[in-house]
Amino acid sequence: MPVSPVDSPTDLRATAAAVAARVETAMHADLDLALAGCDPLLTEVLHYALFNGGKRIRPLLTVLSARCCGRDDDRLYLLAAAFEYLHVATLIHDDVIDRAPRRRGLDTVATRFGLAAAILAGDWLHARSMHLIGRLTGAEGLEVFCRATSSMVNGEFEQLRLVGDLEAGEEEYFKVIRQKTGNLIGSACVLGALFAGADDQRQRALATYGDHIGTAFQVVDDLLDFRGDQQATGKQTGNDFAEGKITLPLLHTLARATPEERHTLAALYAGDRSSEAAYRQLVALIEHHDGFTSTADVARQLIETAIASLAPFEQVDETQASVGLLRDLAGYILTRTR
């Protein structure tokens, strides 16, 4: 394999794989320690939930952020693992809430091990993740992390309230996804910086970066729900509509629709949302108003802002490779297909 130039997409993939491997090693070691003498079922459930080919994007962000700020040692991968724990805890509980039988082609924890195991394993991971954050970044880090987890829960509540509400505006939409994803991705970056002893300016820069790529991630999710390749995403398209979720392509379309079309959209959301015909009618309306194109434009703008926020790191020669990888990662979020 030819050596790839620094900051190339190949380099991002190689770095992501290497970081994921170290994070997984850290998770295995931490679980061995934390689960010594514990119930074998708890151990089995946690391993099932954690080691299933996850992309480990959150840990990668923590690692790259710390590297940008000049620190890279073994403890960093344990800190990064804490973000994967929280992420997986969230997925497990989300699947319980959504009563989802499968996730990305595999049985969910609740399907495989039952409701009690799913709720308890999520709680365990949540606790362990905060435990590690507190130990590795002190009260200041815990504060950042807990603000992000509280905001995540609040975002979920606001989202519940918005289900099927076609009067919700873009402002409310962005508030929800920023709380659900942006803040937490931002905190994965900020804690990497904090761990590396970065100053306020660099912490804020990485917070902005993380917040914007996290928000872009959700916007792209909205698009993939309509246009994703089922093989690649492991998800059916049209789920958001079936659940009555208000997403950005819909909001853009509503803003441009004639009164009559708005009436049609309202009827579609109030009607049988599992109907294939209703879904096709919705897609046609969004396409007619370029809702997918303009949603993709929003994602692109968010990614541009994220990349611009990395400016404070431009002058430091020895961390240019990591800054470049953060840029590439932002770009990947825009073009991802799963």
| Contact set with a copy of itself (CB under 8 A) | 34, 38-39, 41-42, 93, 96-97, 115-117, 119-124, 126-128, 130-131, 134-135, 138-139, 142-143, 146, 149-150, 153-154, 156-158, 160-161
CA 78 to chain centre: 19
Least separation, in Å, of the C-beta of 128 and a copy of itself? 7
Least separation, in Å, of the C-beta of 121 and a copy of itself? 8
What tokens were used for 247?
């997403």
Least separation, in Å, of the C-beta of 123 and a copy of itself? 6
The position carrying tokens 């929800």 is: 176
Least separation, in Å, of the C-beta of 57 and a copy of itself? 21
Q: Is 86 left (phi over 0), alpha (psi -120 to 50) or beta?
A: alpha
* Spatial separation of the C-alpha atoms in residues 216 and 220, rounded to whole Å: 6
Structure letter (DSSP) for residue 38: -
Percent of the chain as helix, strand, coil, to the nearest 5: 80, 0, 20
Least separation, in Å, of the C-beta of 222 and a copy of itself? 20
* Spatial separation of the C-alpha atoms in residues 86 and 300, rounded to whole Å: 27
Least separation, in Å, of the C-beta of 146 and a copy of itself? 4
Least separation, in Å, of the C-beta of 36 and a copy of itself? 11
Least separation, in Å, of the C-beta of 312 and a copy of itself? 29
* Spatial separation of the C-alpha atoms in residues 62 and 186, rounded to whole Å: 9
Would you say 152 or 296 has its CB closer to a copy of itself? 152
Would you say 242 or 316 has its CB closer to a copy of itself? 242
Least separation, in Å, of the C-beta of 309 and a copy of itself? 24
Would you say 9 or 138 has its CB closer to a copy of itself? 138
* Spatial separation of the C-alpha atoms in residues 274 and 79, rounded to whole Å: 42
* Spatial separation of the C-alpha atoms in residues 297 and 223, rounded to whole Å: 11
Would you say 131 or 262 has its CB closer to a copy of itself? 131
* Spatial separation of the C-alpha atoms in residues 6 and 272, rounded to whole Å: 51
Would you say 51 or 157 has its CB closer to a copy of itself? 157
**Rounded (5°) CA angle 109-276-261:** 120
What tokens were used for 315?
């002058």
Question: Phi/psi of residue 336, each to 5°?
Answer: -60, 150
Would you say 122 or 210 has its CB closer to a copy of itself? 122
| Cβ atoms of residues 80 and 59 within 8 Å | yes
Count of beta carbons in the 10 Å neighbourhood of residue 134? 16
Would you say 34 or 166 has its CB closer to a copy of itself? 34
Would you say 93 or 273 has its CB closer to a copy of itself? 93
Q: How far is CA 243 from CA 20, 153, 232, in A?
A: 33, 19, 21
Which of helix, strand or coil describes residue 164?
A: coil
Would you say 180 or 289 has its CB closer to a copy of itself? 180
| Cβ atoms of residues 85 and 127 within 8 Å | no
